[in-house]
């Protein structure tokens, strides 16, 4: 063996087991290893034992750190590791003397990124005798090689002879790990998520069926603990995996993930009942309610749905059937099932974790509205701020997207006209209307909101929200033309005992100011806002004249994420070789320009529209696209021509060749974003316009974006969640 293997062992209060663990490493037939003992703030004698072991063998290194959990300890080990291969071993576990050498050989021969051995559970005082080193090759079983897609299938469907969901007994090539790390926010299931992310990166897996990893089961074992916190952590892992599979159109995998989640819920509920732990059973019931409301739940077989229905609606009957089943059948096969739910105390703890609420236009079937909401939420969560979108979905926002539209115009004739005209448009779209609604709802339910969250329609419902900090924005939340008058919710002007702070982030008036009849009301509502930032610099003088504090200018939150982060959620079309057109108001000049460009370049024209009508007979119109499809269309386009703000911004993010036409009503924000990026020459009809194929210095654009994003990031991180 020429390559070094780094064996990473997190150590925390494991004085009773660490010596046996280390001795199993020192007994390995391979000698090219380093042992990294990560003392995670142990309070027993484990630290002293580790220090002594380091003095006995120069291959053992000890890293001391504050207690931050097993994930942080493993991440520290990855950072310090010098080997080509990483092997993860828990401090209360051990392994067969030939394990590391065998896995090493399998990986070198196969080229796999991950090698996995079977686990053998052992009791409190047990530890298998070391086998004869010279005879181990005679006992090696035939290995199994999984290509990446096969490994991913085996991971989700549990078809492998060896479980791929835990880190024990796994050797991983260091360069395959890359930037993947264990999620330090999780108390359980972090290894499952880590391996899943490796598989998403394309890792192949070779499996050794020999049960040469010795997994100790004892009372203090973290993975054996049943608590609301540990259950919540495991649930979040599988919730993430299910969402990812659903997002990437792997529906059968997503349904299997839902089956896993439901089986776990039943397991937790049953275990909670058996142990008389009410908090666990209550938490499981809440999870069952949340899962029942998801679209993927309807694809579960009738038996799975029946179990959940009985738990939610007829628990005595479920428990009776469960007891009978255990006595008659399960005892014969030594199988157990469990399930749980959460107590009021745990609800409060979870609410404290999600302490920032975002008030924005997430409920509008509009690309920009949903994508800016996603950008803000994702950025905050990425930076450790527990943020959720408040499900404020008033009828004046959602009604305009109904089959028979609703728009609360002040005049009855206006309402009738809008309803009639909107319904005619929806009828003309025909079957594309429900398809568009599905794509919009799928994105919203997958990326923006949680089904467990309660929808709010009226201001008085805000009283019991758990958030201490509220972010108002982004989008035109202060444009009375969109919100049918100024709305108190978008200023944080509501009663709530938990509310401590309201921050306006990238709020927009739709222009530089508001009609004079709104100035006094606007000034009063601004008193509820603690910190103000706007999206357009032109609005600063007007807002500043009515607000006592400073007014900052920040970027639309879609710019807080980079191109790679947006690509993760996009859905590309099957088409290639086209000019993408996206209009938010009709423009004859734009239509004429696009047709000429199409003739010149020999490209077809695709237009995205959310309402009926035809811009031009030569355009191919897609009425069905949701936000994910919108991103995919931009990514795939050869040229983008638009008069939309978000059409412009995403053309910049995706570094497309694009042309922007002036917008009669909302042109200020488009002009502003082009100036910020030094792209004024992309605005058609101006003195600086230099033609479609004029070169764009994308290096300079990225530099400008980075500089301006930094200002926006500082505003958010300095004011939100403090």
CATH assignment of 568-707?
3.40.50.2000
As a whole number of angstroms, the distance between CA 165 and CA 588 comes to: 57
User: Comparing 276-290, 427-441, 511-525, 612-626, which segment has the lowest mean pLDDT?
Assistant: 612-626
pLDDT for 341 equals: 38
**DSSP string covering 348-405:** HHHHHHS-EEEESSTTSS-HHHHHHHHHHHHHHHHTT--EEE--B--HHHHGGGSSS-
| 690 — pLDDT class (breaks 50, 70, 90) | confident
Backbone phi, psi, residue 179, to 5°: -95, 0
* pLDDT exceeds cutoff 90 at 129: no
CB neighbours of 424 closer than 8 A, spacing ≥ 6? 612
Say whether pLDDT at 613 is over 80: no
Least confident of 8-17, 100-109, 418-427: 418-427
3-state secondary structure 35-77: EEEEEECCCCCHHHHHHHHHHHCCCEEEEEECCCCHHHHHHHH
pLDDT tens profile 437-468: 889 999 998 899 887 788 999 999 999 898 99
pLDDT, tens digit (0-9, with 9 covering 90-100), for 154-208: 899 887 768 899 998 999 999 999 999 999 999 889 999 999 999 999 999 999 9
| 432 has pLDDT over 80 | yes
pLDDT at 221 (0 to 100) = 55
Superfamily classification of domain 5-221: Spore Coat Polysaccharide Biosynthesis Protein SpsA; Chain A (3.90.550.10)
Each residue's pLDDT tens digit, 43-80: 989 989 999 999 899 999 999 999 999 999 999 999 99
pLDDT of 139 = 59
Residue 136 clears pLDDT 90, i.e. is over it: no
The residue among 187, 126, 195, 201 whose CA lies nearest residue 163 is 195
Ranges of each domain in the chain: 5-221, 226-347, 349-560, 568-707
pLDDT of residue 343: 39
C-alpha to C-alpha distances, 543 to 135, 478, 520, 526, 618, nearest whole angstrom: 81, 11, 12, 9, 44
Convert the pLDDT of each residue in 554-593 to its tens digit.
Answer: 999 999 999 989 998 999 888 889 999 998 888 889 999 9
pLDDT at residue 103 in the model: 94
What's the whole-number mean pLDDT along residues 402-430? Answer: 73
pTM of the model: 0.54
The residue among 722 and 597 whose pLDDT is bigger is 597
Task: Give the tens place of pLDDT for each residue, 207-221.
Answer: 998 889 998 876 655
Q: What local confidence, expressed as pLDDT, does residue 521 receive? A: 95
Reported as a single tens digit per residue, the pLDDT across 291-349 is: 888 888 888 887 778 878 877 777 777 666 655 655 554 444 443 333 333 434 444 44
Residue 51 tokens read as: 């220090």
Average pLDDT, the chain: 85
Tell whether the model's pLDDT for residue 505 goes beyond 90. Answer: yes
> In Å, how far are 36, 73, 204, 244, 591 from 113, measured between CA atoms?
21, 22, 6, 22, 52
Q: Does domain 349-560 have CATH number 3.30.410?
A: no
Domains 5-221 and 568-707 share a fold: no
Residue 485 carries which DSSP code?
A: S
Predicted pLDDT at 340: 37
Q: What is the DSSP letter of 537?
A: G
Report the residue count for the chain: 722
Question: What pLDDT band is residue 665 in, cutting at 50, 70 and 90?
Answer: low
Please indicate whether residue 344 or residue 363 has the higher confidence score (pLDDT): 363
- Least-confidence region, from 330-344, 421-435, 472-486, 505-519: 330-344
b/e code 650-670 from CB counts within 10 Å (16+ = b): bbbbbebbbbbbbbeebbbbb
Question: CA-CA-CA-CA torsion for 428, 431, 437, 440, nearest 10 degrees?
Answer: -100
What tens digit of pLDDT does each residue of 70-117 get?
A: 999 999 999 999 999 999 999 989 999 999 999 999 999 999 999 999
Whole-number pLDDT of residue 173: 95
């Amino acid at each position: 063996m020429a390559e070094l293997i780094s064996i990473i062992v997190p150590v925390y209060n494991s004085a009773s087991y660490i010596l046996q663990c280390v001795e199993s490493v020192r007994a390995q037939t391979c000698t090219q290893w380093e042992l990294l003992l990560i003392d995670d703030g142990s309070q027993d004698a484990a630290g002293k034992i580790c220090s002594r072991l380091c003095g006995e063998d120069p291959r053992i290194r000890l890293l001391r750190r504050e207690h931050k959990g097993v994930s942080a300890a493993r991440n520290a080990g990855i950072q310090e590791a010098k080997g080509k291969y990483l092997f993860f071993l828990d401090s209360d576990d051990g392994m067969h003397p030939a394990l590391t050498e065998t896995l090493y050989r399998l990986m070198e021969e196969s080229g796999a990124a991950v090698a996995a051995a079977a686990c053998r559970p052992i009791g409190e005082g047990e530890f298998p005798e070391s086998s004869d080193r010279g005879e181990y090759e005679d006992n090696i079983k035939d290995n199994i090689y999984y290509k990446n897609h096969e490994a991913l299938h085996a991971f989700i469907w549990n078809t492998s002879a060896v479980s791929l969901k835990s880190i024990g007994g796994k050797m991983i090539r260091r360069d395959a790990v890359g930037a993947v790390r264990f999620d330090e926010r999780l108390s359980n299931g972090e290894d499952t998520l880590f391996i899943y992310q490796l598989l998403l990166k394309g890792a192949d897996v070779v499996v050794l069926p020999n049960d040469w990893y010795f997994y100790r089961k004892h009372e203090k074992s973290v993975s054996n603990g049943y608590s609301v916190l540990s259950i919540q952590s495991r649930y979040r892992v599988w919730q993430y995996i299910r969402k990812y599979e659903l997002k990437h159109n792997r529906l059968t995998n997503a349904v299997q993930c839902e089956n896993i989640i439901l089986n776990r819920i039943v397991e937790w509920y049953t275990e909670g009942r058996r142990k008389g732990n009410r908090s666990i059973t209550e938490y499981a019931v809440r999870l069952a309610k949340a899962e029942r409301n998801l679209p993927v739940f309807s694809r579960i077989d009738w038996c799975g749905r029946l179990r959940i229905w009985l738990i939610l609606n007829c628990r005595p009957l479920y428990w009776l059937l469960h007891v009978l089943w255990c006595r008659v059948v399960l005892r014969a096969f030594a199988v157990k099932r469990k399930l749980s739910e959460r107590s009021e105390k745990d609800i409060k703890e979870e609410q404290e974790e999600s302490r920032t609420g975002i008030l924005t236009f997430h409920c509008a079937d509009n690309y920009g509205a949903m994508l800016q909401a996603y950008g803000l939420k994702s950025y905050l969560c990425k930076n450790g701020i527990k943020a959720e979108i408040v499900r404020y979905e008033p009828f004046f926002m959602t009604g305009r997207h109904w089959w028979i539209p609703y728009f609360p115009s002040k005049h009855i004739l206006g309402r009738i006209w809008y309803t009639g005209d909107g319904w005619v448009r929806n009828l003309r779209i025909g079957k594309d209307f429900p398809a568009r609604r599905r794509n919009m709802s799928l994105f919203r339910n997958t990326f923006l909101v949680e089904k467990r969250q309660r929808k709010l329609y009226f201001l008085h419902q805000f009283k019991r929200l758990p958030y201490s900090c509220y972010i108002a924005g982004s989008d035109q939340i202060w444009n009375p033309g969109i919100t049918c008058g100024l709305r108190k919710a978008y200023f944080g002007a509501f009663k709530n005992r938990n509310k401590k702070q309201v921050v306006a982030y990238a709020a927009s008036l739709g222009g530089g100011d508001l009609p004079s009849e709104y100035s006094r009301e606007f000034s009063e509502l601004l008193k509820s806002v603690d910190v103000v930032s706007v999206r357009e610099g032109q609005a600063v003088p007007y807002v500043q004249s009515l607000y006592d504090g400073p007014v900052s200018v920040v970027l639309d939150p879609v710019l807080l994420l980079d191109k790679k982060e947006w690509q993760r959620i996009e859905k590309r079309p099957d088409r290639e070789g086209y000019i993408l057109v996206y209009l938010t108001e009709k423009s004859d000049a734009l239509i004429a320009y696009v047709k000429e460009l199409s003739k010149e370049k020999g490209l077809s024209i695709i237009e995205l529209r959310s309402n009926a009508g035809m811009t031009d007979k030569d355009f191919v119109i897609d009425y069905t696209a949701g936000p994910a499809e919108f991103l995919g269309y931009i990514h795939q386009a050869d040229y983008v021509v638009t008069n939309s703000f978000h059409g412009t911004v995403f053309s910049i993010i995706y570094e497309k060749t694009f042309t922007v036409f002036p917008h009669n009503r909302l042109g200020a924000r488009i002009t502003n974003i082009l100036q910020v990026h030094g792209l004024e020459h992309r605005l058609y009809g101006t003195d600086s316009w230099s033609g479609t194929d004029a070169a764009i210095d994308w290096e300079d654009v990225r530099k400008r974006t980075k500089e301006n994003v930094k200002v926006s990031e500082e505003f958010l991180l300095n004011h939100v969640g403090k």
